[in-house]
Amino acid sequence: MNRIGIIAKKNKPEAAAIVRNLVEWLRPKKIKVYIEGEMGKLLSPALAGGYWEPIDRGEVPTGVEMIVVLGGDGTLLSVARQVWNRNIPILGVNLGGLGFLTEITLDELYPVLEKVLRDDFTINEREVLNAGVIRSGKRIAEFIVLNDAVINKGALARIIDLETTIDDEYLSTFRSDGLIISTPTGSTAYNLSAGGPIVYPSLHTIIITPICPHTLTIRPIIIPDDVKIRALLKSSNEEVTLTLDGQQGFSLEFEDVVEVRKAEGRILLIKSPYRHYFELLREKLKWGER
């Protein structure tokens, strides 16, 4: 491995020192390091004898063989949308709070990197979804998500109606505050808070979870990932937004269609050698505790 990108959460005071130490650690290994611009400005250009260079964040994935993400799950999600079709593994190091996706602790960073540089590591493949907005028969927007695509009403809007089909077969018209369409990776995010199931991340499924449904018999449903989901907004004069991974938003209009299907790419997460998925559930989500 000769080229590594580093992306760090900028509003973490300790991030600059961590990046600086990481660059120095990589220096004798003759690895070229690319650091996203804002963080790179905090480091001396003379550091590491030219073994690193600042680069625009959108360009970091170009040519690197791995990306180290220093931050929380939000930082990793933003990076994932850049590399979903590039087969670049991500090493997520938790500097945030929950850190369910960034499962490597700071204390584990260098031992794990040693293993990675010896090619002694395991990859978790995570599926991503393509979410498009169709208006008057034309696709006007398209997004990639690792966690979820969420259709939700505004704070003052009434319950909204979403006529939903699976592969053009009618499923239901959800009368609710909204609808979560989630990957297994996103099952422990908004989906879980809305009463949806925890789904093992390697399963090839999509979860549809209504948000506060008006009809109590409506419950979340898990479907195969090789289908096309379409949700038609049947409510007019309401403020409705499509939210992607909780980080991007798109305003919807009456009779817009949100179409979701599995994307062709995938996210490659470097797995912690020190804990498994069920341990993460217990540690991060306090799963099973009273």
For 81-109, letters b (16+ CB in 10 Å) and e give: bbbbeeebbbbbbbbbeebbbbbbeeebb
- HEC letters along 254-287: CCCEEEEEEEEEEEEEECCCCCCHHHHHHHHCCC
Distance CA 22, CA 34 (A): 12
In the annotation, is 161 catalytic? no
Six token digits for residue 130: 């393509």
* Residue 59: Cβ within 10 Å count: 14
Interacting residues of 277 by C-beta distance below 8 A, sequence separation 6+:
200, 201
Please tell me which residue in 56, 73, 167, 256 is annotated as part of the active site.
Answer: 73
H helices within 50-128, ranges in order? 73-83, 109-117
Six token digits for residue 4: 């590594």
Distance CA 236, CA 201 (A): 36
Count, residues in the chain: 290
Residues with active-site annotation = 73
